[in-house]
Amino acid sequence: MNRKIIHVDMDCFYAQVEMRDRPELKNVPVAVGGLPGTRSVLCTSNYIARKYGVKSAMPTDYALRLCPDLIVIEPNFDKYSNESKKIQLIFDKYSKLVEPISLDEAYLDVSIESSATSIAKKIKNDIFEQTNLTASVGVANNKFLAKIASDWNKPNGLFVILPKDIKSFVDQLPVKLIPGIGKKGIEVMTKLQVKTCLELQQISKELLHSHFGIFSQSLINYAQGIDDRLVQNDLQRKSISVETTFLEDIQDNEILKFSLRTLHEELCLRIKDHVESVGPKTVKKIFVKVKFDDFSRTSCEICLDQTDDNLDRIINDAEAFQNLLNNCLKKKLKTVRLIGLGVKFKTKSEKEFNQQSLLTLCGLS
Ligand code: TTP
Ligand code: MG
């Protein structure tokens, strides 16, 4: 069956919320993030600031050098989380199969609808009516293309890739837009003289494999606009994670520490929202992953006591993630391009299995 997938992504989300609440910020460069002089990084910036090169994950002090008039606002996560909840309710109105990706982004599977485009328009209108915020929306037959489409006409965009147009759309698509390709991947593509997906389609499987390992199969699929990943709703969710890719590779441990703290706050919000929507969950493991400037990666995880409600511990214990990060960093003395952290949940079947084993041990089954 031809699927119909919608990807919704709010425009410069945190910054837009702040601009809505302080109209005097409407026509000036604005960023949300750690204050100057704290060695912290920005969460995001508005579109005026982006013209100066100011972007997410950029150290605040560096951003101020690019744009001295930049207004930097400290993040108010509760406010963003409230707006996010309103948006999620709108998504739930239009599909039973919604996969939230972050506070401001989600995929919806609307395959059963006759017109995905009209649903996309309604979602945009509802969001604006209820929050006074704009979103950009993409429609296509899979997640990869729907996400590319939502970014195509940002801000306040709506872009639809019809099945008949996929080939011509994908052929001219720059490979740098393929998810997961990163800076190092682009360097390899440049060496192979590959700029577009059409050029990527012409590279042999073997050559791609020699450079990209198992990622090469995904590359081959993406190059043809193929992506079989399903939209997974919250109930099926086995993990939640957040990550940030630095614009410049980072060596300074203080910056990494600050970023981890911000990411931990975002992770906690995401977990709280998740638990509010699906009910209590038990965390099996927490993990931190790090990608280095040479494309190599490492991760560290610890198993938790699986008491039924161990979420509070995670929410109050940024230190545990910090220790995992330190362990990752000890493994290699290299500069860092990405850090991520997350939790893995105990699944329903694991819970049932454990309960069953307990009953068996007690001779009760
Ligand atoms: P994004 O959707 O990636 O960015 P955005 O909404 O600010 O801008 P765009 O219009 O390009 O979609 O992220 C959503 C929010 O997540 C963003 O407003 C702030 C937060 N965030 C961080 O805190 N750190 C990051 O590195 C990124 C990318 C986002
Ligand atoms: Mg966004």
Cβ-based neighbour number of residue 112 at 10 Å: 10
105 is an active site residue: yes
3-state secondary structure of 119: helix
Rounded CA-CA distance 319/331 in Å is 19
CATH code, 237-353: 3.30.1490.100
Cβ-based neighbour number of residue 134 at 10 Å: 17
User: How far lies 175's CA from each of 199, 248, 292, 330, 342, in Å?
Assistant: 9, 21, 21, 33, 28
- Predicted confidence at residue 213, as pLDDT, reads 85
Does 83 contact ligand 1 (Cβ within 6 A)?
no
Of the residues 18, 99, 105, 266, only one is catalytic, namely 105
Does 13 contact ligand 1 (Cβ within 6 A)?
yes
* 257 strand-pairing partners: none
- CB half-sphere exposure, 180, CA atoms < 13 A: 11
**Nearest alpha carbon, ligand 1 atom 11:** 12
Does 105 contact ligand 1 (Cβ within 6 A)?
yes
- CB half-sphere exposure, 352, CA atoms < 13 A: 3
**Nearest alpha carbon, ligand 1 atom 24:** 43
Does 244 contact ligand 1 (Cβ within 6 A)?
yes
Q: Residue 47 CA: which ligand is closest?
A: 1
Ligand 1 mutation target, pool 11, 32, 44, 83, most atoms within 8 A of CB? 44
Domain definitions of the chain by residue range: 13-78, 85-223, 237-353
Nearest to 73 by CA among 65, 81, 82, 63: 63
Q: Is there a contact between 157 and 135 (Cβ–Cβ < 8 Å)? A: no
Query: Which pair of structure tokens corresponds to residue 5?
Result: 């997938």
Sign of torsion, CA 35 248 153 27?
positive
Distance 226 CA to ligand 1 centre (A): 26
- Predicted confidence at residue 253, as pLDDT, reads 85
| Architecture of domain 13-78 in this structure | 3-Layer(aba) Sandwich (3.40)
Cβ-based neighbour number of residue 86 at 10 Å: 13
Looking at the domain 85-223, which fold is it? Answer: Alpha-Beta Plaits (3.30.70)
Distance 13 CA to ligand 2 centre (A): 5
Does 55 contact ligand 1 (Cβ within 6 A)?
no
Does 18 contact ligand 1 (Cβ within 6 A)?
no
Nearest to 100 by CA among 298, 279, 220, 236: 236
In order along its 365 residues, the chain shows pLDDT tens digits of 689 999 999 999 999 999 999 999 999 999 999 999 877 889 999 999 999 999 998 989 999 999 999 999 999 999 999 999 999 999 999 999 999 988 999 999 999 999 999 999 999 999 999 999 999 999 999 999 999 999 999 999 999 999 999 999 999 999 999 998 887 889 999 999 999 999 999 999 999 999 988 889 999 999 999 999 999 887 778 899 999 888 778 888 888 988 999 899 989 988 888 888 788 888 889 999 998 877 678 999 998 876 666 777 777 788 999 999 999 998 877 889 899 999 998 876 665 555 555 455 444 44
- Predicted confidence at residue 281, as pLDDT, reads 85
Strands 71-73 and 30-33, how do they pair? parallel
Q: Do domains 13-78 and 237-353 have the same CATH topology?
A: no
Which residues 6+ apart lie within 8 Å of 146 measured at CB? 5, 6, 7, 107, 138, 139, 140, 161
3-state secondary structure of 313: helix
Chain position carrying tokens 């970023």: 259
Q: Is there a contact between 8 and 126 (Cβ–Cβ < 8 Å)? A: no
**Nearest alpha carbon, ligand 1 atom 15:** 13
- Predicted confidence at residue 90, as pLDDT, reads 98
Q: What are phi and psi of 218, to 5 degrees?
A: -65, -40
Amino acid in position 257? K
Rounded CA-CA distance 285/304 in Å is 6
